[in-house]
């Protein structure tokens, strides 16, 4: 369905609960087997859910019902099949829906229980906070002791010769201690494991146990302790992105160095161009960065390298 055409079937809101402390929990439902994949249907459900939220809540937790992932990225089959104009509209639509999280008058936090990749991490990073569950312990075989199974977190798009399309180039670097490293990883598609992501400061808190109950309790505790953060994003833009005053200068220095280190080839160049657009700061910078992402993702997925990499990924998958 084209995002700009009338929707004859109203999207069903996602499961939503409000507790006694007026904390809302929205649960993303698995839509491809046990996996949660970002496709147009899910984005429409997110939009319908956010539109129906009360304005007087204490905060919002965005969680996932998938047992294995938070969101395992975007629906690449749809992205590769769309026309140029349809993909531009689709990406713009997703950018607008994710941006609705930044317009809520209360603090938001994503409760990440498993793999958060590509568009899934971009969705989460539109929330004010990121809270994660540690790697789950899996029983060993033939009597061996249980061992943790780390899950991946990051933006792998450049590994498929494309670039993020929902703000990731500008969001991820502002979330970690080493801005330059996050920018480099975005340009190369290198992700972290959950343990490594914890070490670089990607998360605002981590639950004590790898269970849904512990994760949601930790997310709620963080949310209630940080309710005043909403005053820092009254402009309707994400709380953490490289156009914010406290990171813009460091990001600018890193960008200059990375252009030299990574050279002028794609997909790194496209990611760096989107970062450069965001560094003009303010609403204009944020919107310019999103526009560059849309244009470059549209171009790269139709180029031989991008099309071939995506086709190979889907065949292998």
> Facing residues of 116 across strands?
71, 153
Q: Residue 105's closest CA among 224, 230, 205, 17? A: 230
Helices (H), the chain: 40-51, 76-81, 84-99, 119-125, 168-171, 179-188, 194-199, 212-225, 248-262, 268-278, 282-302, 304-316
CB 162 within 8 A of CB 300: yes
pLDDT score at 1 = 45
Instruction: Please compute Rg for the chain using Cα positions.
Output: 19
b/e 139-150 (16+ beta carbons within 10 angstroms → b): eeeeeeeeeeeb
Residue reference for tokens 């249980």: 146
- Residue 6's pLDDT is what? 40
List C-alpha distances in Å: 113 to 5, 32, 37, 247, 297: 34, 17, 14, 28, 28
pTM for the whole structure: 0.95
Question: Which helix (H) or strand (E) is 150 found in, with range?
Answer: none
Q: What is the DSSP letter of 166?
A: S
CATH top-level class for 16-316?
Answer: alpha beta
pLDDT of residue 75: 95
Reading the block at residue 188, the tokens are 């190369």
Give tens-digit pLDDT for 257-276. Answer: 999 999 999 999 999 999 99
The structure tokens 């099309």 sit at 307
pLDDT tens digits for the chain (317 residues)? Answer: 444 444 446 899 999 999 999 999 999 999 999 999 999 999 999 999 999 999 999 999 999 999 889 999 999 999 999 999 999 999 999 999 999 999 999 999 999 999 999 999 999 999 999 999 999 877 777 767 777 889 999 999 999 999 999 999 999 999 999 999 999 999 999 999 999 999 999 999 999 999 999 999 999 999 999 999 999 999 999 999 999 999 999 999 999 999 999 999 999 999 999 999 999 999 999 999 999 999 999 999 999 999 999 999 999 87
* pLDDT of the residue at 9: 65
Which pLDDT does position 317 carry in this prediction? 72
Please report, for the chain, the start and end positions of each structural domain, with discontinuous segments joined by +.
Answer: 16-316
Q: Which residue has the tokens 């990574």?
A: 262
Segment 140-168, tens digit of pLDDT:
777 677 778 899 999 999 999 999 999 99
Looking at the chain, how many residues does it have? 317
- How high is the pLDDT of residue 3? 46
């Amino acid at each position: 369905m084209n995002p700009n055409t009338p929707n004859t079937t109203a999207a069903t809101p996602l499961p939503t609960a409000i507790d006694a402390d007026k904390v809302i929990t929205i649960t993303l439902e698995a839509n491809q087997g046990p996996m949660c994949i970002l496709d147009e249907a899910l984005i429409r459900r997110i939009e319908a859910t956010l539109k129906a939220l009360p304005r007087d809540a204490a905060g919002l937790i965005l969680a996932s019902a998938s047992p294995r992932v938070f969101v395992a990225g975007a629906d690449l089959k749809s992205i590769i099949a769309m026309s140029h104009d349809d993909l531009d509209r689709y990406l713009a639509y997703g950018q607008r829906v994710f941006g609705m999280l930044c317009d809520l008058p209360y603090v938001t936090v994503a409760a990440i229980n498993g793999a958060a990749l590509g568009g899934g991490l971009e969705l989460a990073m539109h929330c004010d906070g990121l809270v994660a569950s540690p790697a789950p312990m899996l029983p060993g075989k033939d009597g061996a002791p249980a061992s943790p199974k780390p899950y991946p977190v990051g933006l792998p798009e450049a590994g498929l010769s494309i670039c993020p399309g929902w703000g990731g180039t500008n969001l991820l670097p502002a979330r970690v201690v080493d801005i330059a490293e996050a920018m480099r990883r975005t340009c190369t598609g290198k992700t972290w494991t959950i343990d490594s992501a914890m070490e670089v400061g990607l998360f605002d808190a981590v639950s004590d146990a790898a269970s849904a109950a512990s994760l949601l309790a930790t997310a709620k505790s963080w949310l209630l302790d940080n309710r005043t953060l909403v005053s820092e994003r009254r402009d309707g833009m994400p709380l953490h992105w490289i156009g914010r005053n406290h990171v813009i200068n460091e990001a600018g220095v890193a960008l200059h160095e990375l252009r030299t280190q990574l050279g002028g080839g794609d997909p790194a160049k496209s990611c760096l161009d989107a970062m450069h657009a965001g560094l003009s700061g303010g609403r204009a910078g944020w919107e310019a960065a999103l526009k560059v992402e849309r244009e470059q993702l549209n171009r790269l997925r139709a180029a031989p390298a991008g099309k071939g990499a995506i086709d190979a990924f889907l065949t292998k998958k």
